[in-house]
Structure 1
Amino acid sequence: MADKTAFEIPEQMRAFADKSVDQAKKAFDEFMGATVKAVENSETSAKTLQSGARDVNRQALAFLEANVAASFEFAQKLVRARTVEELGQIQQDFLARQVETVQSQGKHMAETIGKAASDVQQQTKK
């Protein structure tokens, strides 16, 4: 069996990278909080349209937050990897999960947008 190829990252660099990822995640979490608040404050259109837009916005924000959280988790795993093989496996696993996630999110978003459009159409017929 092939030997694992080791590589050394100085502990200070690893700690710095880990801290940087944590700081970026904290900044993103604050951004998401402000964005969610801004989206909630900006929903002032007609009641039916507002409800549909709110559903779409919330779902989009939830997907964004989930995708960014997965990316931060991925970054932390990369920083903590000890071998080139481990890096490759982490990358492969992440990409496979992201493909599944994007497909699922696209399906859910299409359903939500379709429902919102249908609701608006129903309301305008009244």
Structure 2
Amino acid sequence: MSDEARDRFEIPKEMRTMAEASFEQARKTFEKFVAAAQAAAGSIEERGATVREGAKDVREKAVAYAEKNVQASLDHAQLLLKAKDLPEVMRLQSEYVQAQMRALAEQASEMSQIVGKAAIEAAKPKV
């Protein structure tokens, strides 16, 4: 491939559409996850001072996850911009989607543990 052809490399419309769909799916999944975490945090906050710490942990973790996921998306976009050919774009997209799905699963598991711990603390009788 000549330097001129490499400089003019454009992502085919079909690949761009697939990448956008994958990104949209990951974004929607994360938005649902954050909404559920926020709803859980809101209901936990109603339990009083004992639970505020747990709700704070949930909020902090949700923000940290959001920051991590946005950074991963930006890093991925930067890698796509540097792709030299279609196979590299496909490989990068596949790796990104797999990594994001793993990250979202881990985040959901961690958030579940945090919310569960907060709920247990909230249910403890006050002494």
TM-score where L is the length of structure 1: 0.63
Which aligned segments of 4 or more residues in structure 1 are displaced greater than 6 angstroms?
none
Pair 117,47 (structure 1): closer, same or farther in 2 beyond 3 Å: same
Contact 1:7 1:84 in 2 (8 A): no
CA distance in 2, matches of 1:114, 1:6: 52
* Letter of the structure 1 residue corresponding to residue 68 of structure 2: A
TM-score where L is the length of structure 2: 0.62
**Equivalences for 1:5-24 in 2 at 5 Å?**
8-9=8-9
Establish whether residue 102 from structure 1 lines up as the match of residue 93 from structure 2: no
Segments of 5+ residues of structure 1 without an aligned counterpart are: 11-43
Match of 1:49 in 2: 51
Q: 2:95 aligns with which of 68, 93, 96?
A: 93
**Equivalences for 1:50-89 in 2 at 5 Å?**
50-89=52-91
RMSD: 2.3
State the aligned residue count: 88
Question: What CA deviation, in whole Å up to 9, does each residue of 1:62-114 have, x standing for no partner?
Answer: 11110110000001011111111110010011011011111111100000000
3-state SS of the aligned residue for 1:103? helix
Segments of 5+ residues of structure 2 without an aligned counterpart are: 11-44
Match of 1:115 in 2: 117
Percentage identity across paired residues of the two chains: 30
